[in-house]
Every structure is written in C-alpha cells, then in structure tokens.
A and B are shown apart, each in its own frame.
Chain A
Amino acid sequence: MTPTSPARPARDLALVATMAGLMAALGLVPAIAPFGGAVPITAQSMGAMLAGALLGPRLGSASMALFLGLVALGLPLLSGGRGGLGAFAGPSIGYLVGFVAGAFVVGWLTHRLAVRPGGRYVLATGIVVNVVGGVALLYLLGVPATAWRADLSLGTATVAALAFVPGDLIKAVVAAVIARGVYAAYPGLGPAPRPRPRAAADA
C-alpha cells in the first residue's frame, strides 16, 4: 500500500474485479482479423488503456493480470471466444503481457500528466499517454514475441504488425474520449490527494 493512497482494500478488490469484467465484455465486440486471424484487431487493447487511465497504475495493471488469470483458468474471454492456456502458447502472448504493462504505464502517466487537480482529464495529454503506453509499448512487447513464437525475423514480424497500427491509434483516441467522459461523470477517480503537510506532521 503506497502512503498516498488511503487503505481501502475492499473497494480496490471490487474495482479490479469489475474492470476485469469490463475487459471481458470488450472481448465480445466483434474483431477484425486480417492477418490469418491469429492476432486480431480487438477492442480489448482499448480495455488495457481504459483500465490504466481510470484505475491508475497499480489497480489498472492488477485488473489486467486478473483478466489474464481468468483466461488462463479456461474462460473464453479473449476476442473471438478464445481462452484457456492455449492462448498463452500462441503468437499473441506478447500482446497479452502488453495488456498488463500497458495498463501500468498508461495509469502512471495518466495520473502524473493527464489528470489535473480536481479530477479533470485533459484529452490531448490523454491521447498521447494512450499512444505511448497502450500502442507503442504494446508493439514493443508484441512484435518480438510473435517473431519468437513464429520464428520470423523481427523485420517480417514488424511488417506484419504494421497493419494494426492505424486501428490502434484510433482506439487510443477513442479510449481517451471515453476516459474523459467517465472522469467527468464519476468523481473520485485519479490519483489520491496527497496528504497535507500538517496531517503528515501529525502522523
């Protein structure tokens, strides 16, 4: 428990579980799958950005880890109804790991850069944060993993992945627009307010 966040483990557990459920719901949005269907364009990478942007680095990445845990336990939650441990042996393993890492980085950057005091979410900063943490980082992990699992050269795997970049950039924008809407409608998101110096002196 970091000193800046109030100790509310019960609410944290509930938020992590609910965000994992939302991620599962996003998997039901039909996917577009141009490259043989093994690494489809999904709404789920948007879920990783939203988890980080809304819950912050710690809870956001925890919710993605829980989501992957539920997939590993045999639930068909990945888009296209895939699931089970088989998904982790396939070529999209890097993107799955990227969900967790991406949610953490998006959450960390969102809390530091995109959320103003008072809980206002700055759209332009949020888009940049989503592109860095939710797209660039995702490919940084996903492309080498595909190259490894499919025994392709990094260059070939990169070219194969390029087809997905435009879609993911659009998703980064959509996720930021959605995050701004949620920040406006639901107070209490964003980094926990830092304890005032007087309170710290009392402790």
Chain B
Amino acid sequence: MGLFHPGTSLVHRVPAGVKLAALCAAGIGSVFAATPVGVSAYLAAAVLVLVVARVPGRALVRQLRPVLVFVVVLAVFHALVSGPGRAYVVVGMLLALVLLATALTMTTPTSALVDVVVRVAGPLRRVGVDPERLGLLLALGLRAIPVVLGLAGEVRDAQRARGLGASPRAFAVPLIVRSLRHADRVGEALAARGIDD
C-alpha cells in the first residue's frame, strides 16, 4: 500500500525531514517567484528531481491525471481571459508544486515520514500533545484501512447471501456498526496495554 516506489537515487537517499523542509521552502518561495522566469525555474527543478529520482512514468501519470485535466482547462480559461503569460505563470506554478510534492511522496517510505512527524511533534509536548501517541495513532490509522475494507467485504457478502441488492443504507449501517465494534475491541486491547494510564 502507498505511493512509495523504492529506489537508490540521490533523491531517495536524502533524509525525509530534509525533503519535507525543502518542499515547504519551495511552497513559500513560490509566492515570490510568480514570474515567467521563476515559474520556468520551478518547472525545470521539478522535472530534474523527477528524472534524478527515476520515478516510474506510468505511476506518475496515474497520480497526476486528475490534476493534468484540470490544468489544461484552467490554462485555456486563463489564456482567453488574461493572456498566455498569466496562464503560464498560474498553471505552471501549480503544476511545479504538485510535481515536487508527488516526487517527495514517491521517493520516501511512509514509515520515514511517520518518524519525521513524531520528531517534529516533539516540542508540542509542552502544549499537551504526546508525540508517541501521535505515532501510535498514525499506526492505528494505517492498520484500520485494511480492516475496514475487510469488514466491507463481509457486509457485502452478507447482503448478497440475503438477496439484498445494492442499497447504500443496508450496506453502510452494518459496516459502520461493525467498524465501531472493532474499535471497541481495539480500545480494550490498548487499555489492557496501559494506554489509558
């Protein structure tokens, strides 16, 4: 699961925290680089990162397809309303930032990003946020996705066995009730391991 594509490129080897910081800096910098030259530099940098990272093209296109369609519509709109120069700046910068963010996601394993979150959340301890609990929550969330999908399969089978068609209510209510009961059991298991203390 996840969008990560393993590799050994330079982009893969840069620590996750550094990549995240660079992405934040690029996002802030984009406000000041909203000129045709600035946008060209951003686009060139984004393409360079993707080439160096050797991100598989098919996976990249799959991620970007919804954005690309929107970008084309938006480019035509801006070219007609405010001229081709403006269209290039607006659409190019949007595309560059999406490409950079996608590059980070595809070259960084989820576990490394979880570690960064736990580390960055360290100072929040003072305002009552427990970084380890945050990490636990992320791990529980990762685990909950396949569990809920499994429950959805069970509910669908049960529905079919009783000859019920595709009724959203007859599907959603039992799925949510089963999920809540699952949460109760997980809660008890966590409490048994001292999380309530």
Write the residues of chain A forming the contact surface with B, with a CB cutoff of 8 angstroms: 7-22, 24-25, 28, 33, 35-40, 50, 54, 66-67, 69-70, 72-77, 80-86, 88-91, 149-152, 174, 177-178, 181-182, 185-186, 189
Q: Does residue B45 face the partner (Cβ distance < 8 Å to A)? A: no
In the complex, the chain B residue whose C-beta lies closest to that of A184 is B173
Q: Does B125 contact A (CB under 8 A)?
A: no
A8 near B187 with CB under 8 A, answer yes
For chain B, the bracket of interface size reads 35 or more
CA of A203 to CA of B13, assembled, Å? 56
Contact present for B73 and A13 (CB under 8 Å): no
Interface residue SS majority, chain A: helix
Assess whether A17 is in contact with B3, with CB atoms less than 8 Å apart. no
A-B CB contacts (within 8 Å), total count: 212
Among the listed B90, B98, B186, B196, which residue makes an inter-chain contact with A90, where contact means beta carbons less than 8 Å apart?
Answer: B98
- Chain B: CB-nearest residue to A65: B137
| Contact (Cβ within 8 A) A86 B67 | yes
Show 12 A/B contacts (Cβ-Cβ < 8 Å), sorted by A. Answer: A11-B187, A16-B141, A20-B144, A21-B179, A25-B145, A25-B148, A66-B137, A66-B138, A74-B105, A86-B64, A178-B176, A186-B177
Q: Is the beta-carbon distance between A37 and B187 smaller than 8 angstroms?
A: no
For A12, list chain B residues within 8 Å (CB). Answer: 187
Q: Mark B103-126, 1 if CB is under 8 A from A, else 0.
A: 011101010011001000000000
Q: How far is the CA of A72 from the CA of B153 in the complex (A)?
A: 26
Q: Are A25's CB and B149's CB within 8 A?
A: yes
Which of B70, B100, B102, B191 has the most A CB atoms < 10 Å from its CB?
A: B70
Q: For the complex, give the distance between the alpha carbons of A11 and B192 in Å.
A: 11
Determine which of B65, B105, B187 lies in contact with A13 in the assembled complex, contact meaning CB atoms within 8 Å. B187
